[in-house]
Amino acid sequence: MKRCVVGIRRPGESQGAVAQKDVPTVWFPSMATMAAVLSEDNQSLLRLIRDKRPKSLTELAELTGRQVPNLSRTLRMMESYGLVALKKNVREIEPMALATSFKILID
């Protein structure tokens, strides 16, 4: 897993001057959205996926004690930001954490 560089850019805002090595790979529209997506619970979920490598959402639900629909919503939201990949197997969806470490740039 690579460290994910996170930035905040409101829709219609231009990208400011950023050092080439620190160009954000994930953009959030606001601090509030970033805080919700990268909450302590969601970061713990990403680490759990990385460490335990569950083969299905059902297995992940058993590991977390959360309901599958709740996990599915959270993971799809995280997938939309590029933090998680959801690999579809025959009858299961395997979650894969793409980032568990974050560098946040605030202008």
Minimum mean pLDDT range among 7-11, 45-49, 53-57: 7-11
**How far from each other are the two terminal CA atoms of the chain, in whole angstroms?**
26
Condensed to tens digits (0 to 9), the pLDDT of residues 66-106 reads 999 999 999 999 999 999 999 998 889 999 999 999 998 87
Tell me which residue has tokens 């629909």. 69
> Which domains occur in the chain, in start order?
3-104 (1.10.10.10)
Residue 75: half-sphere exposure toward Cβ, Cα within 13 Å: 26
pTM of the model: 0.84
